């Protein structure tokens, strides 16, 4: 049976900065390529959302919730298509409306950026 001192020593050895650095260095190439793939995929979507927000004269301090709404729709769109997508989009809309986002702006984003009709 291990003692508390042995457990503490094992924990400390596992989280020594050089050990952690080597683990991260080994994963870094894969992490960068995964991030680049997602960033390249979502960037045009976020640009389109920004255009809708500009057209609708939304104050820039409020843009975060609309980006979050758009990212949720984007993620859901990646998982699968209609009819579940439309139902989920409505639920996502209702959630963000409860958080204070304006419904007409979200409807505009859903239609213009994703081609989804919600009410």
Per-residue pLDDT in tens (0 to 9) along the chain, 119 residues: 788 999 999 998 888 898 889 989 999 999 999 999 999 999 999 999 999 999 999 999 999 999 999 999 999 998 877 778 888 999 999 999 999 999 999 999 999 999 989 98
Residue 101: which of 54, 55, 53 has the closest Cα? 53
In-domain check, residue 79: yes
In-domain check, residue 51: yes
Residue 65: which of 105, 112, 118 has the closest Cα? 105
pTM for the whole structure: 0.76
CATH number at residue 10: 1.20.58
Range of the domain at 22: 4-114
Q: Are the C-beta atoms of 111 and 48 separated by less than 8 Å?
A: no
User: Residue 99's Cα: distance from chain center in Å?
Assistant: 17
In-domain check, residue 119: no
Q: Indicate the number of domains in the chain.
A: 1
In-domain check, residue 95: yes
Hey, is 67 helix, strand or coil? Answer: helix
In-domain check, residue 88: yes
In-domain check, residue 12: yes
């Amino acid at each position: 049976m291990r003692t508390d001192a042995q457990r503490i020593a094992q924990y400390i050895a596992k989280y020594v900065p050089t050990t952690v650095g080597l683990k991260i260095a080994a994963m870094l190439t894969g992490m960068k390529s995964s991030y680049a793939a997602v960033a390249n995929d979502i960037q045009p979507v976020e640009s389109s959302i920004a255009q809708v927000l500009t057209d609708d004269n939304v104050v820039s301090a409020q843009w975060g919730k609309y980006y979050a709404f758009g990212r949720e729709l984007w993620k859901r769109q990646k998982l699968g298509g209609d009819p579940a997508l439309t139902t989920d989009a409505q639920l996502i809309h209702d959630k963000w409306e409860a958080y204070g986002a304006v419904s007409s702006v979200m409807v505009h984003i859903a239609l213009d950026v994703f081609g989804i009709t919600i009410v």
